[in-house]
Amino acid sequence: MKTKILIIFGTRPEAIKMAPLAKEFLKNTDLFDTKICVTAQHREMLDQVLQFFDITPDFDLDLMKPGQNLYGLTASIITNLQPVLENFSPDYVFVHGDTTTTMAGGIAAFYSGAKVCHIEAGLRTHNKRSPFPEEINRQVTSRIADYHFAPTTTSKENLLVENIAEDSIIVTGNTVIDALLESVEKVNQEPSPYIQEFSKTLGDKEMILVTGHRRENHGDGFIRICEALKAIALDNSDRLIVYPVHLNPNVQEPVKRILTEVPNVLLLAPLAYEDFIWMMNRSKLIITDSGGVQEEAPSLGKPVLVMRDTTERPEAVDAGTVILVGTDTDLIVSEALDLLNNPDRFDTMSRLHNPYGDGKACKRIVDFIGSLETVEKIS
């Protein structure tokens, strides 16, 4: 009898990191009956990734609603997963990272009696309010999970300190590197019509790519971020800052108010995943508050300024591939300009080793589950 695998995700970042894992399981049809469930905590941005990776969910809960809050979303995920779990009755349920889908999906899977597998386990800031609610989502999921697929040895150590059994922790590297390496090759071979047209606009200009959406930066934090970006742009009119702006109104309002009139700041709608990969690869420098970008950009040799006061990814800080600048306007400006105007420092940072893996994380995860099932059958 085949082992039943259910992979649950709901946001674009989760989809990017779970897509190569889903495909690896789906390749092994002799061992696994694999189903994919999306909560659609994000809708449009999620669908773009599914299309790019050619993945069709078996279950689509379609839970995104205007103005949804954490109370309603958490309850909806748990309630709507019940029939999926009862009807499919998976042996293993995979959740990823730190979203509300991760935490609520883990709880629902635990209720169903399935073994819970946590991808990208063990990341910690040890500050339950930063990032909010992601830090607690991770910690709750760790208490529920049966198997913890940690991207680095640092993540494993975090779990051991929390008395997680060592034989349940597997260091794999991060699946985002698997997705990135596959995607860069595909994007380079077949750039989208959007990118073909954008390339003409960009020419040979120096480009800085910006992303920002974190809840803890809403309000004054985003105002300071936008003032910093304005100063960086005005420092050199030949430089182009490209900012795909998150759809959240708390992001849209300050960004458009402060940056719309700056001639060398280009505000874009959120990009399709393949277009964003191209933008990362083309950029000189990346300024972000994203967790995934901290992992991806070093594989492309791109220095990263992280607009957060804390990070659950200290490996990148320790390796020197990212620099924490928070939302301090002066610090963002000074670090960005120093990297852009100091070739020796820039070159050193761009050549540093990425601590997040070699692109083989998914195979390690699938092989591990396969080995568990082999032992189970033998015993």
pTM listed for this prediction: 0.85
- Give the sign of the dihedral formed by CA 304, CA 310, CA 311, CA 314: positive
What is the residue-level pLDDT of the chain in tens, covering all 379 positions? 899 999 999 998 999 999 999 999 999 999 999 999 999 987 887 898 999 999 999 999 999 888 889 999 999 999 999 999 999 999 999 999 999 999 999 999 999 999 999 999 999 999 998 888 999 999 999 999 999 999 999 999 999 999 999 999 999 999 999 999 989 988 988 999 999 999 998 999 999 999 998 888 888 999 999 999 999 999 999 999 999 998 888 899 999 999 999 999 999 999 999 999 999 999 999 999 988 898 899 889 999 999 998 888 889 899 999 999 999 999 999 999 999 999 999 999 999 888 898 999 999 999 999 999 765 655 5
CB 280 within 8 A of CB 293: yes
3-state secondary structure of 209: strand
Question: d(Cα 302, Cα 211) in Å, to the nearest integer?
Answer: 14
Are 3-174+358-378 and 192-350 in the same CATH fold?
A: yes
Tell which CATH classification among 3.40.50.2000, 3.40.309.10, 3.40.50.720, 3.30.310.80 matches the domain 3-174+358-378.
3.40.50.2000
CATH architecture of 192-350: 3-Layer(aba) Sandwich (3.40)
Which positions are annotated as active-site residues? Answer: 98, 120, 134, 213, 215, 246
**Structure tokens that stand for 308 in this block:** 């957060």
Q: Where are the domains of the chain?
A: 3-174+358-378, 192-350
